[in-house]
């Protein structure tokens, strides 16, 4: 019986660790996407940092990435930047890979 309990605890710990890692990757990805968008909008470094944090916060509005895409696309469009939804989605995917590399590589 203890083997089963030990195995169950190990599975629960792994699940919790995987969830934590996924959250950290998504948060890092969103900040990187915010920095990418801030560069396109020619924001100052202070504004870019604040914008990156705002993009991270936007991800808490609803499940999935649509809230982040909607925010970034809307802000870029409002700033007069020529970009479409496909461009933002491509940047999101690129930043997702970069975030995973940073977190897994210890950067």
Domain boundaries, the chain: 2-105
pLDDT digits (tens, 9 = 90+) for 32-74: 999 999 999 999 999 999 999 999 999 888 888 999 999 999 9
Contact 38, 32 (CB under 8 A): no
Measured distance CA(9)–CA(105) in Å, rounded: 27
- pTM for the model: 0.84
Measured distance CA(99)–CA(13) in Å, rounded: 23
Question: What's domain 2-105's superfamily in CATH?
Answer: Domain of unknown function DUF1476 (1.10.790.20)
Measured distance CA(21)–CA(39) in Å, rounded: 27
Q: Computed over its alpha carbons, how large is the radius of gyration of the chain?
A: 17
């Amino acid at each position: 019986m203890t083997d089963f309990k030990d195995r169950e605890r190990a599975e629960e710990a792994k699940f919790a660790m995987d969830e934590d890692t996924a959250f950290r990757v998504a948060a890092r990805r969103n900040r990187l996407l915010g920095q990418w968008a801030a560069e396109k909008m020619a924001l100052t470094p202070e504004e870019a940092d604040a914008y990156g944090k705002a993009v991270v916060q936007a991800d808490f509005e609803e499940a999935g990435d649509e809230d982040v895409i909607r925010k970034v696309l809307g802000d870029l469009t409002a700033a007069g930047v020529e970009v479409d939804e496909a461009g933002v989605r491509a940047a999101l995917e690129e930043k997702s890979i970069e975030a995973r590399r940073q977190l897994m590589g210890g950067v």
